[in-house]
Chains A and B, each alone.
Chain A
Amino acid sequence: MDDLIIAGESFSSRLIMGTGGAPSLDVLDQALAASGTELTTVAIRRLDPNARGSVLDVLRKRDIKVLPNTAGCFTAGEAVLTARLAREALGTNWIKVEVISDERTLLPDPIETFDAAERLVADGFVVLPYIGDDPALARRLEQAGCSAVMPLGGPIGSGLGIRNPHSIELIVEAVSVPVVLDAGIGTASDAALAMELGCAAVMLATAVTRAQRPDLMAVAMKQAVEAGRLARLAGRIPRRRYAEASSPMTP
């Protein structure tokens, strides 16, 4: 499969994994390995002196690039500070900007997200913003210097799949930076659909970490992303209202 390229960096996997929701670091480790991911998100939180093991050790052992996020932030100011702390703690200038509007829907706040993205681009970050499925906002974020856009398929953790495939297609048409379908993925067919719609990658966590068998679902997602990418590159046949014979109609 062709490489995913974000901000000049190549990845041979088009599946970006999250680390949330796993019952243990061991289960997470197995799922990440099975998924074949090369880029994985972490959150930034207060250090717990009693915590045993670190998600960073798991990623380091598997040679997976860490993508810190600003999960838990409600304002641009909080997101900018979190990004700077992540850069200091992890030694990366990559940041997934995630600024949510309320805890019930966890939907991204477009105004705060744009503000944070602009400030972080100016501060030298490689910015990947989590956004609603809004083509206009995606284009404005690309113009602001973001290295990718990450529209949601559905609400975080909902497993509802891609609620508005048409908007995702419009985003793919609207921007030239990679479009990463983020949030809402419930099962493998959702991930394949994202790739068929033209997304450059899929980001998911809960669909794998909270599956009954995370290791199996991780393989399913890996293969779904690959199948969807190949189908996109192959070019699907047009949908027709009526049958079209594939065998000669003459005797």
Chain B
Amino acid sequence: MIVMINGASHEVADGTTVAQAVRTLTTATTGVAVAVNDEVVTRSSWETTALSDRDRVEVLTAVQGG
């Protein structure tokens, strides 16, 4: 299936979790937040939340600004 991770499309196996999607970008687990289709997925649910085809995953962190 295809999922979008931070705007880039990725071919991933069925059953891929949010945690696995995050690990394609970073090994960090603190200072990072995830939204799937504009809904926050809390860190405690990353391992148990499976992605679906065409899901939009946003992996965000704090940057300089404001």
Contact = CB atoms under 8 A, between A and B. Distances in A.
Nearest to A90: B62
A48 B34 CA distance: 14
Interface residues of A, number: 36
A231 B38 CA distance: 48
Interface centre among B26, B58, B66 (most CB of A within 10 A): B66
B64 A55 contact: yes
A107 B42 CA distance: 32
Nearest to A96: B66
B12 interface: no
Interface in A153-205: 205
Given A46-B6, A47-B6, A85-B33, A55 B63 contact: yes
Contacts of B25: 47, 49
A96 B65 CA distance: 12
A71 B7 CA distance: 19
B13 interface: no
A132 interface: no
B35 A85 contact: yes
B35 A44 contact: no
A145 interface: no
B45 to A, nearest CB: 11
Interface in B28-57: 31-35, 38, 40, 42-43
A45 B35 CA distance: 12
B59 interface: yes
B1 interface: no
A63 B14 CA distance: 43
Contacts of A48: 63
Contacts of B59: 46-47
Contacts of A205: 66
A141 interface: no
A113 interface: no
A164 to B, nearest CB: 22
Nearest to B7: A46
Contact of B64 (A42, A68, A88, A89): A42
Nearest to A21: B64
B27 to A, nearest CB: 10
A98 B66 CA distance: 9
18 contacts: A18-B66, A19-B66, A20-B65, A21-B64, A42-B65, A44-B60, A44-B62, A45-B60, A45-B63, A45-B65, A46-B60, A47-B59, A49-B25, A55-B64, A85-B40, A88-B43, A89-B31, A89-B61
Interface of A: 18-22, 25, 28, 41-49, 51, 54-56, 66, 68-69, 71-72, 81, 84-90, 96, 98, 205
User: Which 7 residue pairs are nearest across A and B when measured between Cβ atoms?
Assistant: A43-B65, A89-B33, A41-B66, A88-B33, A85-B33, A42-B62, A69-B66
